[in-house]
Amino acid sequence: MFRRNSYGVDGRNAPVTRTILIAGAHGQVGQHITEQLGESEHTARAMVRDDSQTDEVADLGGEPVVADLTADVDHAVEGCDVIIFAAGSGGEDVYGVDRDGAINLIDAASEAGVDRFVMLSSTGADDPEAGPDALEDYLTAKAEADEYLRQSGLDYTIVRPGELTNDSGVGTIEIGEDIGLDAGDIPREDVARTLVATLDYDALIGETFEILSGDEPIGEALEWFCSQ
Ligand SMILES: NC(=O)c1ccc[n+]([C@@H]2O[C@H](COP(=O)([O-])OP(=O)(O)OC[C@H]3O[C@@H](n4cnc5c(N)ncnc54)[C@H](OP(=O)(O)O)[C@@H]3O)[C@@H](O)[C@H]2O)c1
């Protein structure tokens, strides 16, 4: 069974304003999340690692905070109810950022008593050795961060999209536990919408799922997954 909850960002539920930290807010997915949350009743705390990025995320509706995942992040996490992790090394330092940076934020979230942690992961992270050699370290780093989150005691949801595109979002997806690494792609805007929409469903706490472009409206796809 699923039920929507007070995190709803579409105004249909009793609004409870939450402070939601977006790690990687200046990234391509992160900017969509910042904009979507900036239009909601919630506070979008937009974590960037460079002062020069603050105006841009503020224009999207975020409240900027400067922090680096490889350093102290306590000030960014303080007072947050929810964290959405949308950061990534872009392949430059997968163990330092995609794994250890995520772990650093998970630890800070645990210490600060954050209610919920949503992780942007990747298809293929369930079996890094099965993917292309070029992606093995990245997928291993993502898998280890995901596993650390599972063991953290935090209320988590792990979302694993296929290849990301910059096409305009259409608001529909395919969802499943194991769709596969090469099965297709998905616009970043729809990934952002899905990450934000997970907060509407308590039944997604403790769940890991994959998403691609598809035909189901995001809310209906999540409800279907919850009802399984
Ligand atoms: N590409 C794909 O096809 C694909 C598929 C599935 C999943 N994913 C996952 O989706 C994630 C987001 O994708 P995207 O396209 O939005 O990536 P992106 O545009 O490269 O954004 C990543 C963001 O993370 C930030 N970041 C990097 N290192 C950081 C650090 N040490 N501390 C704080 N922030 C840091 C970057 O900051 P700067 O702006 O300062 O560089 C950037 O804003 C990827 O990282 C990947 O894990 C990607």
Q: Tens of pLDDT along 76-120?
A: 999 999 999 999 999 999 999 999 999 999 999 999 999 999 999
Number of CB atoms found within 10 A of residue 41's CB:
13
Mean pLDDT to the nearest integer, 31-52: 97
Asked whether residue 7 is domain-assigned, the answer is no
Asked whether residue 137 is domain-assigned, the answer is yes
**How many domains in the chain?**
1
Which CATH number is 67's domain given? 3.40.50.720
Asked whether residue 110 is domain-assigned, the answer is yes
Task: Establish whether residue 26 lines the binding site of ligand 1, counting it when its CB lies within 6 angstroms of any ligand atom.
Answer: yes
CA 90 to ligand 1: nearest atom:
20
Which residues span the domain enclosing 122? 19-226
pLDDT of residue 16: 75
- From ligand 1's centre to the CA of 23, what distance in Å? 9
- From ligand 1's centre to the CA of 223, what distance in Å? 28
Residue 9 has pLDDT above 70, yes or no: no
Size (the chain), residues: 228
Question: Which of 69, 146, 160, 195 gets mutated to test ligand 1 (max ligand atoms within 8 A of its CB)?
Answer: 69
- From ligand 1's centre to the CA of 98, what distance in Å? 9
Asked whether residue 8 is domain-assigned, the answer is no
Asked whether residue 12 is domain-assigned, the answer is no
Please name the residue whose Cα sits nearest to atom 1 of ligand 1: 164
Task: Establish whether residue 49 lines the binding site of ligand 1, counting it when its CB lies within 6 angstroms of any ligand atom.
Answer: yes
Asked whether residue 33 is domain-assigned, the answer is yes
Task: Establish whether residue 88 lines the binding site of ligand 1, counting it when its CB lies within 6 angstroms of any ligand atom.
Answer: yes
Asked whether residue 194 is domain-assigned, the answer is yes
Residue 160 has pLDDT above 60, yes or no: yes
Mean pLDDT of the chain: 94
Residue 158 has pLDDT above 90, yes or no: yes
* Catalytic machinery residues: 138
CA 31 to ligand 1: nearest atom:
16
Task: Establish whether residue 112 lines the binding site of ligand 1, counting it when its CB lies within 6 angstroms of any ligand atom.
Answer: no
Asked whether residue 218 is domain-assigned, the answer is yes
